[in-house]
Amino acid sequence: MMKKDFLTIRDFSQDEILGTLELATEMKAHPQNYASVLKGKTLAMIFEKPSLRTRVTFDVGIHQLGGFSVSLLPMEISLGKRESIHDVAKNLERMVQAIMIRTFSHQIVVDMARFASIPIINGLTDYSHPCQALADFLTIQEVKGDLKGLKLCFVGDGNNVAHSLMFTGARLGTHVTIACPKGYGPSPVAFQYATEDAKETGARIEVVHDPFEGVKDADVIYTDVWASMGQESEVEARKAIFHTFQVNKQLMAKAKSGAIFMHCLPAHRGDEVTDEVIDSATSVVFQEAENRLHAQKAVMVQLMK
């Protein structure tokens, strides 16, 4: 990975992404070989959104690499309110070796990267979730082998996770279908970026509005919550719109034989996915969650070493 920051998967070439996945695989197999690679290095973690996997995997990950972390919650820094993004960046660059941010507006991570001389890692924004996509494709690679030519169908809201899956699929030659209700597709800009990038690898990026059409011949079925953080007021309205997009046994049966089920978690069981699917032998959601640790450790080593 040649770049200074990790803001969106689209910033990286196919070789860089595959190299990161290869490093993550190696680190997962032989963690002891990397136990002091970031000795004495500190990661500042800024959380403006709640977190289980992001918090634990970055915290544990930096410690497993010999470094340590400082967690900063909204009431402590209040980004852009108590103190400007510029000033937070200029302070932290003198005290720590990298900053991970989990926030709402993608512009916050872009600005932080512009102002800070140290690496910025996007732990999630409303536009992009690159750490999740890396962990996802690491998981698919572990289960399915070669990524090129596989079909992934994302069923649900065309959100930040959908964007990052499209970006990664386009770079790696994995076909990505977003099956969503009309009016709930991915950002037109993100879709355009992904379709442009896909021309180089032969990946097919498409949006459909029938989940049964979307999952046809899919090797991977992926879903996420219907209302993301910040959309709590829309929960009931979205349930009415999305209920036919539930991933259940009937929908899984329309995918390719041997298709796996994925979810970035947390899952709202009974809404976007049934217990029968998420707890089935085809589900790899906890392997996927664990792989956040290994993928992010690879990112930290490449940026902070």
Query: How confident is the model over 16-48, as pLDDT tens digits?
Result: 999 999 999 999 999 999 999 999 999 999 999
Domain ranges for the chain, please list them. 9-129+292-304, 132-288
Question: From the CB of residue 242, how many other CB atoms can be counted at a distance below 10 Å?
Answer: 22
Residues designated catalytic: 102, 129, 132, 224, 264, 292
Collapsing DSSP to helix, strand or coil, 178 comes out as strand
Please choose, from the candidates 45, 46, 259, 52, the residue with its C-alpha nearest in 3D space to the C-alpha of residue 155. 259
Locate tokens 């992010």: which residue?
Answer: 296
Q: What is the average per-residue pLDDT within 67-81?
A: 88
Cβ atoms of residues 268 and 223 within 8 Å: no
Please determine whether the domains at 9-129+292-304 and 132-288 fall in the same fold group of CATH. yes
pLDDT in tens, 220-279: 999 999 988 778 788 899 999 999 999 999 999 999 999 999 999 999 999 999 999 999
CATH code for the part of the protein at 132-288 = 3.40.50.1370
pLDDT in tens, 169-189: 999 999 999 999 999 999 999
Collapsing DSSP to helix, strand or coil, 270 comes out as coil
Please tell us whether the domain made up of 9-129+292-304 is placed in CATH 3.40.50.1370: yes
Q: Alpha helix (H) ranges present in the chain? A: 14-29, 53-64, 74-77, 85-92, 106-115, 130-144, 160-172, 188-201, 211-214, 235-242, 249-252, 275-278, 285-304
Selected residue with higher pLDDT from 82 and 248: 248
